[in-house]
Each structure stands twice: as C-alpha cells, then as structure tokens.
Amino acid sequence: MYLKCMKEVAADRMIRYCKKEMEDFMQSSGDDGVIIVSFGSMVKTIPTEKKEILAAVFAKLRQKVVWRYVGEKPTGLGKNTKLMSWLPQNDLLAHPKTRAFVSHAGLNGVYEALYHGVPMVCLPLFGDHPGNAARVQAKGLGVKLDFGTVTAEQLYQAILHVLTNDSYRETAARLSRLHRDQPQSPMERAVWWIEHVIKHGGLPHLRARAVELPWYQYYLLDVAVFLLAVCTAVLGTVWCSCSFFCRKICCKSGGKLKSQ
C-alpha cells in the first residue's frame, strides 16, 4: 500500500511538472504563438525525406512548434520546435497561444480544431483523411496539401497563408460558435438522460433490439449458414452439370469408336 501511494504521488508530481513545462513553452512564444503538429497515433514513423521537409519548414517559422513525433530526430530540426512522443492535443488546441494546426485531417482532430476555432493545414494520408481535408478546405477552415508530393516551399507558403489570412481565423471562430451553440452542455445532457432513465424505470423501449436476439442471430451465424448453403448449392450444381456433360461427350466418343 505504501509503495502504491508513493507511485501515485510520483506520477502526480510528474504530471504537474509536464504541465508546467508545457505551459512555460506555450507562454514563451509571445505574440507569435504556437503551431500544433500531429499526424495521429496510427502513424508511427514518417519517411526520412518528408520528416526533413517538415523540420526545415518549421525551423523557418517565427512561431514555436509542438510536434507529436516518434523516431529518430530530424537533422534539420530548429530550436523553435519541441518534439513529443505524446501530446495533450485537445488541451493544446484550446490554448490561447495556438495559431494553427498541421494535421493529417483525422476526424477527431478536425472536430477538436473546429470546436476550439483553430485553422488547419491538412496533409491527408489514407482512409477518411482526404474527404475530411476536402471539407475543411471547402468550409474555409484551412487548406489541403498532398502529403506524397508536397515540397518544402509549398508547405511553408500554405502555413504562412493560413497564419496571415484573417479569413481562416474568422471562419474558424464562426464555425466554433455554431458548433458550441447548443441548448445544453454535454455534461448537462448526460445528467439529464441518466435522470430521465432512472425516473421512468429503465425505458426498455430505448434498448437496442440486438439484446433480444438469440445468440446465433446476434453473431449472424444463421446468415453465414444460409450463404454457405447457397454457395454449396451453386457449386454442386455446376459440378454436377460439368460431370453430366463430360459423361455424355465420353459416351458419344466411345460409341463412335465401337462402330468403327
């Protein structure tokens, strides 16, 4: 018990130290602010050519940069760039010093940037990223670049364009207000639904119908058996048909040989 308490105290101290260090870094950016960079938790490494391009571009910026990065440190990394294997992305996007978000346009990141009114520079990678990035650009929340072909100059100009063009910041702020304007906060809504369910005795009509299905239907085993039976019937029919025609052909060939 004593060791457990000591570990919890040490962890708490580490968290407070990291928060203070992060806050000091954000405040040290002055009026220029900070740019948050993250390509998601699924991207473990970045090709050497691309990471050097990113590092060189970030080094040229007046802003400070917090980059979620795992791997060997880029050779062209600037003094204004802080590498972190993990970062509190939502908290950093909510920080008043944050000026832009360079991202792969993952859905969670887009929602967080939208909620906090942060313009984006999107470098989509795969999956839903290109579609999300296209919507970000169409709504005026940011710009979209091709990660595979982007050059250092293109990325640098895109970041400067988003930082210096007030329309992106204004659009981000307007969309953030629209997104936040709800009759209840998420906490109030959750509390209301919990009390509503308790008040009316569980509300069984709101339960998913899946819990009432037999186990073989829940796991779609009946569908699997049906599809297997259909495939077996089709293949069996094809096999029998081929065998029948082969026997007919062989019988005709054998009859001709006997007559000769």
- Cα–Cα distance for residue pair 71/86, rounded to 1 Å: 12
8 is written with which tokens? 């919890």
**153 & 221 share domain:** no
pTM listed for this prediction = 0.71
Q: What is the largest CA-CA distance in the chain?
A: 105
Q: Read off the CATH number of the domain in which 151 is found.
A: 3.40.50.2000
**253 & 173 share domain:** no
Per the structure, the complete domain to which residue 243 belongs is given by: 213-259
**27 & 70 share domain:** yes
**85 & 134 share domain:** yes
Question: pLDDT value at position 14?
Answer: 45
**102 & 156 share domain:** yes
Q: Is residue 194 part of a domain?
A: no
Question: pLDDT value at position 7?
Answer: 42
Q: Which of 156, 180, 204 is the last residue of a domain?
A: 180
Q: Is residue 188 part of a domain?
A: no
What are the CA-CA distances from residue 104 to residues 40, 79, 86, 126, 133 (Å)? 7, 24, 16, 9, 8
- Cα–Cα distance for residue pair 159/80, rounded to 1 Å: 15
**108 & 23 share domain:** yes
> How many C-beta neighbours within 10 Å does residue 199 have?
8
Question: pLDDT value at position 223?
Answer: 93
**235 & 146 share domain:** no
Residues 6+ apart with CB under 8 A from 29: 63, 64, 97
> How many C-beta neighbours within 10 Å does residue 140 have?
16
**71 & 158 share domain:** yes
pLDDT 10s digit of each residue in the chain, 260 long? 544 444 444 445 445 646 788 888 889 888 899 999 999 877 777 888 888 999 999 999 999 999 998 888 888 888 999 999 888 899 999 999 999 999 999 999 999 999 999 999 999 988 889 999 999 999 999 999 999 899 999 999 999 999 999 999 999 999 999 988 888 888 999 999 999 989 888 888 888 888 888 888 888 899 999 999 999 999 999 998 888 888 877 776 655 545 55
**229 & 107 share domain:** no
Q: Which of 136, 157, 180 is the last residue of a domain?
A: 180
**159 & 109 share domain:** yes
Q: Is residue 68 part of a domain?
A: yes
**23 & 98 share domain:** yes
47 is written with which tokens? 């090709």
Q: Is residue 190 part of a domain?
A: no
- Cα–Cα distance for residue pair 65/62, rounded to 1 Å: 9
Q: Is residue 208 part of a domain?
A: no
Number of domains in the chain: 2
Question: pLDDT value at position 12?
Answer: 53
Q: Is residue 38 part of a domain?
A: yes
Q: Is residue 204 part of a domain?
A: no
Q: Is residue 200 part of a domain?
A: no
**175 & 89 share domain:** yes
160 is written with which tokens? 């400067």
